[in-house]
Amino acid sequence: MMNADTVNARERIPDSCCFVIFGVTGDLSHRLVIPALYNLEESGLLPEKFCIIGVTRTETQSKTLKTDLMKGLEKHATRPVKQEIADKLFGCLTSIHADPSDPKSVENLKAQLEKARKDKGVTNHLFYLAVPPGAFKPISEMLGAAGLLKEKDGAWRRLVIEKPFGTDLQSAKQLNADLLKLADEHQIYRIDHYLGKETVQNILVLRFANGMFEPIWNRNHIDHVQITVSETIDVGTRGSFYEQTGALRDMVPNHLFQLMALVAMEPPSRFDAHSVRSEKGEALAAIQTQTEAEALKNSVRGQYLAGRIGDRQVGYYRQTKDVSPDSTVETYAALKLTIDNWRWAGVPFYLRTGKALAAKRTEVAIRFKQAPFSMFRTTEVERLSQNYLVIGIEPTEGIMLQFNTKVPGPQVTIDGVEMKFRYKDYFKASPNTGYETLIYDCMIGDNILFQRADGVEAGWAAVQPFLDAWKKAGGKGLAMYQAGTDGPEEAHELLERDGRRWRAIDGE
């Protein structure tokens, strides 16, 4: 059994830097960013010369901020919190007040960065925007106007931006244009936490480090691909956000398309950020653009009704706080997409995501074509198992291969079996948030796991016809599904008309 921490110990230590967190008092910082920094500190992967500057919109004492973050760490930590590690991490934390609406307040940040340079010799700056999307541009412009994004004298400046990156194709293009006026592409890290998951990263290794898979990874052998991200949680207290976003915007152009790109991309010429991101961008750009009529035909949008999920009662979406009583916003989305290139011509990609579903599951399922069965005439076709390669991402991390074999006995009887690999059975790894790899890569300057401007825009271009078609349709075509099920019946019909069916969400 391999120990992941042993492997991590061989990683290089990042350059000294100031880690500046905008939105340090928010939920994202408490749940993910600070616990990830703690785990990196415990693993010895933070630089010796390191400081955290927490930027708040109101005057907050550093001591008060440390106490608040420590409470958050104890609540959200993925490992037992060791006081000496926490003390070391928070010992380098300072709180400062800065607000884009008050241009003069940026002087507080500049003064603190200058103090870090004089006291610790730290000249590299990483600006992490753990803030709502509307704040991305004003904060970046504040940093740019103050000269804090300009790289000089060998010191680097990096800007980390969370999702959602835009709300449609036009807004994504505009945000890219605005940011690229302030910083170069290599300085911008568009973060998608799905790419921090070990199993997602392993898709590249599975495909390109194993000679048995790449030769059959094409239209000659693959019937179709299913990508599922299902959640049991409902919208909860995020009604206002969800009314502006919906399932499609929230999940498809980022999470699901990142999975799709890793499955569909061509082999990169080398394993570096430019090559990998270029191939991912090409795959997304090759998604067939659909007319609005085609988009309506090849999609399903749904909204959950009241129901039970386990022992929990879930209310009707339209009765959620801050949700319109006649809302047509989707909490479930399913799409049929095709990729116009030599490898994937004629192979449909079926994507689905939704809230308040029967089980939490994220997986990529590659369905291979049926083998000729004429030599097994005595075996009913229904007894022949479908050949699937399933990459499980949540909640079970692993890979499953489903194939046919002979049942013991004097007659040739065939049945399907599964061969499973689970990460936890082979690798000993400390629990983490999924952000550790991404934050570490930001600090060492490796942007292979981050989206590039062209990839972001290609993703939005692919979903724009669906957004436009659904907007024009209004409430017409919105399917309802009961909370605790696997989604609307119309989603099953989307595949059934092609002679296919979804894998069960609540299955193993």
When the pLDDT of each residue in the chain is averaged and rounded to a whole number, the result is: 90
Between CA 83 and CA 89, with CA 87 as vertex, the angle to 5 degrees is 120
Domain ranges of the chain: 17-162, 195-430+451-497
CATH architecture of 195-430+451-497: 2-Layer Sandwich (3.30)
Q: pLDDT band at 196, cuts 50/70/90?
A: confident
Is 231 annotated to bind a ligand? Reply is: yes
Q: β-pairing, 299-305 with 478-482?
A: parallel
Is 250 annotated to bind a ligand? Reply is: yes
Q: pLDDT band at 8, cuts 50/70/90?
A: very low
pLDDT at 319 over 90: yes
Find the distance separating the first CA and the last CA of the chain, reported in whole Å: 24
CATH architecture of 17-162: 3-Layer(aba) Sandwich (3.40)
pLDDT at 340 over 80: yes
**Residue 255 known to be catalytic:** yes
What is the reported pLDDT for 379?
Answer: 55
What is the reported pLDDT for 146?
Answer: 95
Mean pLDDT of 78-96: 94
Distance CA 53, CA 18 (A): 7
pLDDT at 373 over 70: no
What is the reported pLDDT for 290?
Answer: 95
What is the reported pLDDT for 96?
Answer: 95
Distance CA 462, CA 280 (A): 14
Q: pLDDT band at 164, cuts 50/70/90?
A: confident
Least confident among 117-131, 277-291, 302-316, 391-405:
391-405
pTM exceeds 0.95, yes or no = no
What is the reported pLDDT for 43?
Answer: 92
Other beta carbons within 10 angstroms of residue 382's beta carbon come to 6
Is 57 annotated to bind a ligand? Reply is: yes
pLDDT at 301 over 80: yes
Supply 424's token pair: 């936890």
Query: Which is catalytic among the residues 76, 125, 255, 274?
Result: 255
What is the reported pLDDT for 461?
Answer: 95
What is the reported pLDDT for 243?
Answer: 93
One fold for both 17-162 and 195-430+451-497?
no
Other beta carbons within 10 angstroms of residue 130's beta carbon come to 23
pLDDT at 380 over 70: no
Give the orientation angle of helix 257-264 with respect to helix 453-473, to 10 degrees. 120
| Residue 277, helix vs strand vs coil | helix
Is 355 annotated to bind a ligand? Reply is: yes
Is 360 annotated to bind a ligand? Reply is: yes
